């Protein structure tokens, strides 16, 4: 008798069914694992980074740090001390800080020093303006007209009284008093001073030859007893506020904060302007084409070539404030926090609701310099 084929067929069918079922289970498990992998978020980084530097930048940096601390529910804390650009750069070089805020970027020799130690990143973070402020009784804010040459002569000690014919010629409608001008300036190493004196050196050959431009300079007006020093933008603003007939230079946010009167400044095209969204944008857009990359040396461009920008509407003492970072950090958590925070600052942080009055947001082309620079951050 032959063996029946039916039981064998049944067995084969059963085996195939079992294998098919196992395959389906395996595929289901794989798909489940893949779905879980794609929906599971990586662990969020948390921690603290410390920076310090420009007083010019301080009101805006405090606002950003506070907002981001709130947005991350305390996960990211950014501490920033207003100690001046010079002190901030010095502490950053010592390795005390995770980042520095500075009005001018690094000098060429310091840039080269960092480049040899793994590289540096420096990029604009916000646009600020320096205003000439005064405490002239009976003269309203935005009414006094000045030129860069006149301001230079005041700080040189060559114009000593408010009713000097050269000031009266610009302001025939104002009743200017025969009172000595108290010229207030920074007493500490200051990026604001570096930008302000770069502007004076650009518009006044006499200032360029006698004083020049730096974080600190020797103020000729001090030798005549008409100069007063103040520490930080805060100190200069307070000194102008407290001294009738004084003049000074501060970052615009401080002028608003303290309620100081501002002067109209004549720009390169001969128009008298105040820092507004339109006049600052005009100056910023005129400069975009000459700006370097974040990993390059900015010292031959900023601020000497960026002050007194061309343009009928351009405000002449428009300045970027910079963030300075190392390219290489020992701590991967610091790298992650710095990337995350400054990416937010350069994107969401530039929106009007996150920009303090007295500052202006970066044009997208300028913000991209910093965003590209952040990609260079890495761990040793």
Name which of 131-135, 225-229, 288-292, 340-344 the model is least confident about: 288-292
**Same domain for 98 and 151?**
no
Specify the number of domains making up the chain: 2
| Local confidence band at 9 (pLDDT 50, 70, 90 cut-offs) | very low
Q: Is the pLDDT of residue 327 over 70?
A: yes
Which tokens hold the place of 121?
Answer: 């990143």
pLDDT at 44: 84
**Same domain for 332 and 238?**
no
| Local confidence band at 43 (pLDDT 50, 70, 90 cut-offs) | low
- The residues, any chain, with a CB within 8 Å of residue 54's CB and separated by 6 or more, are 82, 84, 85, 88, 101, 102, 103, 191, 192, 321
Max CA distance (Å), the chain: 137
pLDDT at 40: 46
Which tokens hold the place of 186?
Answer: 């920074």
Rounded to the nearest integer, the mean pLDDT of the chain is 90
Whole-model pTM: value is: 0.80
Taking only the tens place, the pLDDT of each residue in 219-259 is: 999 999 999 999 999 999 999 999 999 999 999 999 999 99
**Same domain for 110 and 167?**
no
Q: Is the pLDDT of residue 260 over 90?
A: yes
**Same domain for 109 and 245?**
no
Cβ–Cβ < 8 Å for 319, 128: yes
**Same domain for 161 and 215?**
yes
**Same domain for 51 and 106?**
yes
pLDDT at 160: 97
**Same domain for 228 and 245?**
yes
**Same domain for 190 and 253?**
yes
Residue 214: strand, helix, or coil: coil
Residue 10 falls inside a structural domain:
no
Structural domain containing residue 373: 47-128+291-303+318-379
List the one residue out of 247, 282, 253, 254 whose CA is nearest residue 268: 282
**Same domain for 76 and 123?**
yes
CATH number of the domain within which 351 lies: 3.40.190.10
Taking residues 137-159, report their average pLDDT: 97
| Local confidence band at 38 (pLDDT 50, 70, 90 cut-offs) | very low
Cα–Cα dist 166/159, whole Å: 8
Residue 139 falls inside a structural domain:
yes
Cα–Cα dist 301/191, whole Å: 15
**Same domain for 200 and 251?**
yes
**Same domain for 142 and 259?**
yes
374 class by beta-carbon count within 10 Å (0-12 exposed, 13-18 middle, 19+ buried):
buried
Taking only the tens place, the pLDDT of each residue in 163-208 is: 999 999 999 999 999 999 999 999 998 899 999 999 999 999 999 9
pLDDT at 152: 98
Share of the chain above pLDDT 90, in %: 81
**Same domain for 360 and 324?**
yes
Cβ–Cβ < 8 Å for 237, 258: yes
Q: Is the pLDDT of residue 289 over 60?
A: yes
| CB < 8 Å & 24+ apart, contacts of 116-121 | 118/326, 118/327, 118/328, 118/380, 119/295, 119/326, 119/327, 119/328, 119/376, 120/295, 120/324, 120/325, 120/326, 120/327, 121/294, 121/295, 121/324, 121/325, 121/326, 121/327, 121/373, 121/374, 121/376, 121/377
């Amino acid at each position: 008798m032959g063996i029946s084929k039916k039981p064998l067929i049944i067995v084969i069918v059963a085996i195939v069914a079992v294998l098919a079922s196992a395959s389906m289970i395996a595929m289901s498990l794989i798909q489940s694992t893949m779905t879980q992998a794609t929906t599971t978020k990586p662990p969020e980084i948390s921690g603290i980074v410390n920076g310090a530097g420009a007083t010019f930048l301080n009101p805006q940096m405090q606002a950003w740090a506070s907002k981001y601390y709130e947005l991350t529910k305390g996960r990211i804390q950014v501490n920033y001390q207003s100690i001046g650009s010079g002190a901030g750069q010095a502490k950053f070089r010592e390795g005390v800080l995770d980042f520095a805020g500075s009005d001018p970027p690094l000098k060429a020799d310091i840039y080269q020093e960092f480049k040899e130690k793994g590289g540096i990143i420096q990029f604009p973070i916000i646009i600020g303006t320096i205003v000439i402020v005064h405490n002239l009784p009976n003269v309203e804010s935005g009414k006094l007209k000045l030129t860069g040459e006149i301001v230079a002569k005041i700080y040189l000690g060559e114009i000593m009284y408010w009713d000097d014919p050269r000031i009266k010629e610009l302001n025939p409608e104002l009743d200017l008093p025969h009172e000595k001008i108290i010229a207030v300036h920074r007493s500490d190493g200051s990026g604001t001073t570096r930008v302000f004196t770069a502007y004076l050196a650009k518009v006044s050959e006499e200032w360029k030859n006698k004083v020049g431009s730096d974080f600190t300079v020797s103020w000729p007006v001090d030798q005549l007893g008409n100069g007063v020093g103040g520490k930080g933008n805060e100190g200069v603003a307070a000194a102008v506020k407290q001294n009738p007939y004084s003049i000074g230079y501060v970052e615009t946010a401080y002028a608003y904060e303290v309620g100081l009167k501002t002067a109209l400044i004549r720009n390169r095209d001969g128009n008298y302007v105040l820092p507004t969204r339109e006049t600052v944008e005009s100056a910023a857009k005129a400069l975009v084409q000459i700006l370097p990359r974040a990993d390059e040396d900015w010292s031959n461009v900023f601020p000497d070539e960026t002050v007194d920008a061309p343009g009928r509407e351009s405000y002449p003492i428009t300045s970027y404030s910079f963030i300075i970072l190392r390219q290489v950090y020992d701590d991967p958590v610091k790298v992650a926090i710095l990337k995350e925070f400054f990416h937010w600052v350069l994107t969401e942080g530039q929106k009007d609701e996150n920009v303090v009055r007295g500052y202006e947001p970066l044009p997208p082309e300028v913000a991209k310099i910093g965003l590209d620079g952040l990609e260079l951050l890495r761990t040793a």
